[in-house]
């Protein structure tokens, strides 16, 4: 089984604001995890305006994963990290002053593969 999944959101300059788009990746059959984005940034964000970026982490069988370390990347650099909540959720408030690509990543642990 092969499926697309959203792994983050990208920001690109668009006129006076920032345009936002989703970034996709592919995951393959086997024990693993997937990141599901439930709170995508708006389609356009003025520089300096706060927006939310959130979702949840689950295994490939749909079980939410609580207590897992998730990192937030901006232009391929880790800017902060956190731990998924009791229902596998993660959420950040983000402010950007220029065009950037953002995504959340679970690096994996002894029990689950990263995504």
Digit-coded pLDDT (tens) for 43-73:
678 889 999 999 999 998 899 999 999 999 9
Which pLDDT score is estimated for 64? 96
Which pLDDT score is estimated for 29? 40
- Helix (H) or strand (E) holding 95, with range, is strand 89-95
Residues in the chain: 115
In angstroms, rounded to a whole number, what is the distance separating the alpha carbons of residues 22 and 60?
A: 20
Spell out, as residue ranges, where the chain has pLDDT lower than 50. Answer: 1-30
| pLDDT averaged over every residue in the chain | 78
Which pLDDT score is estimated for 98? 85
Which pTM value belongs to this model?
Answer: 0.71
Which pLDDT score is estimated for 41? 75
Which pLDDT score is estimated for 25? 46
Where do the domains of the chain lie, and which CATH numbers do they carry? 2-105 (2.60.40)
């Amino acid at each position: 089984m092969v499926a697309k999944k959203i792994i983050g959101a990208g920001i690109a300059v668009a006129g006076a604001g920032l345009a936002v788009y989703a970034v996709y990746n592919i995951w393959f059959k086997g024990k693993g995890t997937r990141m599901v984005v439930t709170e995508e940034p708006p389609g356009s964000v003025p520089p300096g305006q706060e927006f939310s970026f959130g979702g949840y982490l689950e295994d490939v069988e749909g079980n939410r994963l609580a207590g897992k370390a998730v990192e937030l990347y901006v232009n391929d650099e880790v800017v902060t990290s956190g731990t998924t909540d009791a229902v596998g959720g993660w959420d950040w408030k983000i402010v950007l002053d220029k065009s950037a690509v953002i995504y959340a990543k679970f690096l994996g642990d002894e029990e689950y593969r990263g995504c």
